[in-house]
Every structure is written in structure tokens, then in C-alpha cells.
Structure 1
Amino acid sequence: MQDHPVIWMRPEHGTRGPKPAHGRRDVAAAAVRIADAEGIDAVSMRRIAAELGTGTTSLYRYVSKKDDVLELMGDEVLGELRDTTLPDGWRPGLCAIACLLRETALRHPWLPSLASGRANHGPNSLWWSELTLSVFDGLDLDTDEMLATLGTLSAFVLGHVLGELGDREAARRSGLTHEQWMDQQGEYGPAIMGSGRYPRLTRVMIEAQTPHAADRQDRLFEAGLERVLDGLAAHLPRN
């Protein structure tokens, strides 16, 4: 038996005592600022309270535990997409959704870890779910097929974003840009190719252009997305 109903079923604040100086959105926005700057592990009741200039205990007028804060954070960033209008057609619609998710996750590097977990049912999240499901309007699909399609797309986007974020973190940790790292690896290349043990990889090392391109992440994302959409097309009606 859980102690509290989900946060979205609780009143914004209690009916007793003075009017609160802040609301849930203030808590969410403060937590997002902290996570964007320092990572999700830096988010705590104490830090949020300091960000808002209030006492830690006062936060419990809005939230009962850190899971509530995480729920608010995930919903808050989806509010950034409220002006979205999706193009007609399932393929252009899914492409737009993928690009928006990627852009949002790159702005908020902590988001993929939350988005990979349980569904958020805050007002912005419910709106986003309704919008994304609208790409299937007019298609003869059952609901499980819709969910599988959106889940496949989301898995691709989150996987790609995690790779991008990992590359950023490697650059920060090593102090090397991608170009500097490639130059460093280039010194090892002749030994790999000269061994004769890796003919397929050797061909890639000699011929591949994308790993050297300044826009390599965009190229990889676009190429991968096209392949995902081609695969999804096999399960969707033509329109």
C-alpha cells in the first residue's frame, strides 16, 4: 500500500497555513536548472531549496519525495514542446517527433535516464502522448502496434543521444576534441591495419568519411532514422 497518491492527483499545496511562496513548477524549474548544470545526482531537496531561497522542509508542501521531483522535471521539459505542430503523414510525423526528442534530450542530458523508465502522466506528458499518437490518425492500427512503433522510435533516439552524450563526456574528461582524439588514434591505425587480422575494419578505417565529418552526429542520426522508418514502414499501411 503506497503512502501517497500520484503527485498529479494531489492538490498543489495544502489548505492550511500561509499561502506558499512557490509552486510545483518553481520546484521543477529549479531542479531542471541544477540537473542541466551539474547532473541529475546533484538534485536534492536541499539544493532545490537553496536555489529557491527557502527552507528544505518547506518543499514538502509541494512534494513528498525525490521521485516526485523527478516526475515534475520530466514533465517540465516536455512543456518546452507545447508549440509543436506535427506535419501530415505518419512518416513525416515520426521524423519530426524523433528530431524533437533528440534536441530536447541534448539540451537536458539527464533526460534519457528518466525517459527510459516508467511513463510520466503529468499534464505536459499527457499532451505529448496524445500528440504523438495522432500520427496514426486514419491508419487501421491497433493500439499495441502504435505503442510498438513509438517505442521503437524512442529506443533509437535515446540510444543515439546516449552515444552523443558519451562523446561529449569523453571530450570533457580527456580534454581532447574529437579531431584531436582521431589524430591520436591515427597513430595506432597503421599497427591495426598492418596486422592483417582485421580486413573488414581496415576497409572501414580507410574508406569511411562520416567519422571524420564535423557534422558526423547529424549524419549518423539522419541515416539511422531513415533505416528505422524504413523498417517501421513494413508494418504500417501506405498513406
Structure 2
Amino acid sequence: MSDGGGPGIWAVPERQGRGPRPAYSRAQITEAAVRIADAEGLDAASMRRIAAELGTGAMSLYRYVPSRDDLIELMVDHVLGEAGVPDRPSGDWRADLTLVAEGTRAMWRRHPWLTGLRRPQPTFGPNRLRLTEFALGALDVGISIDEILTLLDMVNGYVERSVRGEIEWMREMERSGLTPERWMRESVPHVRELIDSGDYPMFTRVVQEARLPHMSGDEQFRYGLERVLDFVAGALPED
């Protein structure tokens, strides 16, 4: 999720050469940065702010984390460890990808600052590699690696799009104080006018027939995920 690519910070030893034992670890710096970002947003997690939290000077932290991109890479890999996947796939690809999708959604919701990052170049953080290895392995069912990558990208794309929408909606509610129930009440007069006009038959069907808008966020997510996994199933060899 950082702007860098390749091995990045993972290619730089945490402790280089001889000398006194470091006063801090990258893990401590990363954990402090994540705490700040969770509470105040990603921009608040500056080296100066992290140093203040740790009780040291900002310049000293650059010995451990050379750049902002490196810090973000460490932060993202740290929270990816919360996805909670086992060491190996279970053999039930659908259950395994559901586990990945739901764990990833929960991770994004706990750390909404992730939405401020653009799509990453590949990096080699240990948690990202573990999650990727598990997800790819779940689809290792007799199809090519290119097919595995394409199908997994579809699942990941659905998860990311869905959770970004959820987080943006939550932010809008916080900003405006507008709840979904209040929004629906205030929209009723205009919606009735649109339906009565007869000009929007498909919109009318959405209002009158659709179940999705009345589902909880969890139910909506699972409904969409099941449709995506149905498509994946259609691309896999028959048992």
C-alpha cells in the first residue's frame, strides 16, 4: 500500500553493523504510528508525532525507518497481520477465500486510514507474503497461476470497493450527522415524484423490489461476496 515497490524496507537490515543496541525497534515505531493513524488519521502519523509518543527526537527514528514510504509500508504490513489466516489453506477454497475477504474487510474497518493510500506496487513484507501465499494457495486447484491471480484480483477488488464505500459512508455520517434512516425519510418525497413520473422503470424496481438496501452492512457484503465466489466457482475445474 505504500508508494514504493520491490523489497523496500525489508531489504534493509534493522540493525546495521556493530555498535550499541538500538533503543527502539521498527515494531515499536510501527505500532506507535498505527495507533496515531487510527486515532487521528494517516497525516498525523509523522516522525515528529511518533517520536513524541516514544519520548525521543524525530531525527533518531530515521536510523530505523529511512523514509515516509518505508513507514507506511511497515504500517500496512503490520495491520495485514490482523487478517487472521491459518498457516495453510484448508482445502475448501470457498471457505478460505471467505475467511480472507471477511478478515480483510474487518482490518480495513479498524484502520480506515488505509483508504487514503493508492493501490500499491508489490512489496515483500512478511504479513503480506503470508496472506498472499494463503490466498493463492486456496485457489491452487488445477488452474494456471495466471488464472489464480486474475480470480483472486476479482475477489480482492470486490472487498476493497465495498469497504471503501462503507468507510466513506461512515465518514459522511460523522461529518453531517445524517443517518441512513434520516436520509431515506428525507428522500421519500422526491423518490415518489420520480416513481410517479413513469420515466424510470428500473429505478422504480430498485425502490419497490430490491432487498439489498434493507440489509445490514454485513449482510450486503456477504451477499455480494457470494456472487463473486459463484463466478470463481464457474471458472474452476469440475470436481
Within 1, Cα distance between the matches of 2:114 and 2:90?
25
Cα deviation 1:116-161 (Å, max 9, x = unaligned):
3222311111111222222134x22221111111111100000000
- For 1:89, the aligned partner's letter is D
One of 21, 26, 29 as aligned partner of 2:28: 26
One of 65, 68, 71 as aligned partner of 2:67: 65
Q: Which residue matches 2:224?
A: 224
One of 135, 139, 164 as aligned partner of 2:138: 135
For the 8 Å contact 2:33–2:75, the answer to whether it is kept is yes
Cα deviation 1:88-137 (Å, max 9, x = unaligned):
32222112211111111111112245473222311111111222222134
One of 88, 92, 103 as aligned partner of 1:89: 92
Within 1, Cα distance between the matches of 2:184 and 2:116?
29
Q: Which residue matches 1:108?
A: 111
Q: Aligned pair count?
A: 234
Give unmatched runs, 5+ long, in structure 1.
none
Within 2, Cα distance between the matches of 1:99 and 1:115?
21
Within 2, Cα distance between the matches of 1:238 and 1:89?
14
- For 1:146, the aligned partner's letter is I
**1:183 Cα deviation from its structure 2 partner:** 1.3
Q: Which residue matches 2:45?
A: 43
Cα deviation 1:53-102 (Å, max 9, x = unaligned):
21100111111110000110111012223563644322221122111111
Residues 1:124 and 2:127 aligned together? yes
Cα distance, 1:154–1:10 mapped onto 2, change above 3 Å = same
For the 8 Å contact 1:14–1:61, the answer to whether it is kept is no
For the 8 Å contact 1:105–1:161, the answer to whether it is kept is yes
For the 8 Å contact 1:101–1:157, the answer to whether it is kept is yes
Sequence identity of aligned pairs in percent? 46
For the 8 Å contact 2:82–2:103, the answer to whether it is kept is no
- For 1:226, the aligned partner's letter is E
Within 1, Cα distance between the matches of 2:169 and 2:86?
29
Q: Which residue matches 1:11?
A: 13
More displaced stretch, 94-103 vs 68-77: 94-103
For the 8 Å contact 1:13–1:61, the answer to whether it is kept is no
Q: Which residue matches 2:149?
A: 147
For the 8 Å contact 2:85–2:131, the answer to whether it is kept is no
Within 1, Cα distance between the matches of 2:152 and 2:116?
17
**1:41 Cα deviation from its structure 2 partner:** 2.3
Within 2, Cα distance between the matches of 1:6 and 1:194?
58
SS of equivalent to 1:119: coil
SS of equivalent to 2:112: coil
More displaced stretch, 53-62 vs 103-112: 103-112
- Matched ranges for 1:157-236 at <5 A: 157-213=159-215, 215=216, 217-236=217-236
Which one has more relative contact order, counting CA pairs under 8 Å at least 6 apart?
2
Cα distance, 1:164–1:50 mapped onto 2, change above 3 Å = same
| TM-score between the two structures when normalised by the length of structure 1 | 0.89
RMSD: 2.2
For the 8 Å contact 2:77–2:128, the answer to whether it is kept is yes
**1:174 Cα deviation from its structure 2 partner:** 0.8
